[in-house]
Amino acid sequence: MDGHVVVALGPVDPDTVGDVLGDRVTFVTHPTPDDLAVAEGAIVRADRHVDEDFLARAPRLRVIARTGVGVDLVDVAAATARGIPVVITPQSGSRAVAEGVLAMTLHLTKRLRQLTDLVRENRWAERNTVPVGDLDGATMGIVGYGRIGRRVGELASAFGMRTLAYDPYSPPPPEVACADLGELAEVSDVLTLHVPLTERTHHLVGEDLLSRVKPGTVLVNCGRGGLLDPDATLIALELGRLAGVGLDVFDPEPAVHHPLFDHPDVVLTPHLMGMTSRAMTLTFVDAARGVADVLAGRPPAAVANPDWNHRKATA
């Protein structure tokens, strides 16, 4: 890999990726147009665009490594047409995101915000007015049973929860499968979203589905912001159909204020449940390893365009 230039799009820790890329690769954290012109690899953060314009400015590019699994901002078709693999890092953040789901679930079920206010405001005598729930014996409804969804199920089981799952793309195992999303909503105490955002899943959680949830359900979205309709979600909260909502993802991002954000039974985080210190190190390592593999002629572990190597690159 002597003489290869790899660029960063967005903040990437050079020490972490440098150890993986090796001494013979020049890693550029703030690339200039001249750097892009000779770059053969790019490590791309989730909020950065890779479009036709970028690809035209990087004519020697051989691999794009996306930190994470979402490729909403990457023109995968254009990359594939040029014979460029779009490496993703599905293993690195899965466990961190799943922990985030459980953290939000516990926060909302145990009413930590309300109970904290009671203590801070010297309202101890009102403590019995706050209904504190249980996870033990409750049902975790998982929408999307991929890596993150399965890990959520493992953690939920450790709390004594029953796990059920619905996946519109890949049926879960029979022991947890729920054939219909509406049926899952009717029996779940917690509903958590982990499907990709597509035309089929846009506003998957809307007025129709929320009319079927069990009253008092907790809804958590650490998947993609467009999976739920915020207007319908706020109405469901105000009607008591939802007891709490946890959001780590938004549409658009950065988040634009919505009245849902002001509801006391909502907890918000700025799309970083998968960005713990350990998870970020792992995703940088996995992205750099994918770049190193392609530049060395090895197949990368995971790509968003599995047919990339069957296409002829275009100029």
Q: Which residues are catalytic?
A: 224, 253, 271
Total H helices, total E strands in the chain? 11, 11
Measure the N-to-C terminal CA separation of the chain; round to a whole number of Å.
22
CA 153 – CA 148 distance, rounded (Å)? 9
Burial (CB count <10 Å: 0-12, 13-18, 19+), residue 94: buried
Q: From the CB of residue 131, how many other CB atoms can be counted at a distance below 10 Å?
A: 10
Residue 154 Cα to chain centre, angstroms? 18
Please tell me the number of Cα atoms within 13 Å of 14 on its side-chain side.
11
Residue 204 in contact with residue 163, Cβ under 8 Å? no
Q: DSSP letters of 68-110? A: SS--TTB-HHHHHHTT--EE--TTTTHHHHHHHHHHHHHHHHT
Burial (CB count <10 Å: 0-12, 13-18, 19+), residue 143: buried
Q: Which residues of 188-223 are buried (b: 16+ CB within 10 A; e: fewer)?
A: bbbbbbbbbbeeebebbbbeebbebbbeebbbbbbb
**Could you tell me which of 246, 226, 251 has the C-alpha nearest to residue 101?**
246
Residue in the structure block whose two tokens are 């991002």: 253
Q: What are phi and psi of 33, to 5 degrees?
A: -55, -35
